[in-house]
Amino acid sequence: MLKLNKAIKRLRTEYKLNQNDFDKIVGYTNTTISAYEKKTRESSHVTLSNFADYFNVS
């Protein structure tokens, strides 16, 4: 099973987005995106829902 932090990074890179591009799209700072990917910060359900909507995943 893919870890959430790795899934976020994998999807972002599959969409050819760097963290700066992605943070502008989803409305979070680059630091926040980085923290989610490094698993130094936990994502809320709302955040996960926003990411899932953007990437069209569930």
Span between the terminal Cα atoms of the chain, in Å: 14
Rg of the Cα trace of the chain?
A: 10
Q: Mind listing the pLDDT tens digit for each residue in 3-32?
A: 889 999 999 999 999 999 999 999 999 999
Whether the model clears a pTM of 0.75, i.e. scores above it, the answer is yes
What residue ranges do the domains of the chain occupy? 18-58
Can you tell me the distance from the alpha carbon of 57 to that of 20, in angstroms, rounded to the nearest whole number?
Answer: 21
The confidence band for 1, taking pLDDT boundaries of 50, 70 and 90, is: low
Question: CA separation (Å) from 4 to 9, 11?
Answer: 9, 11
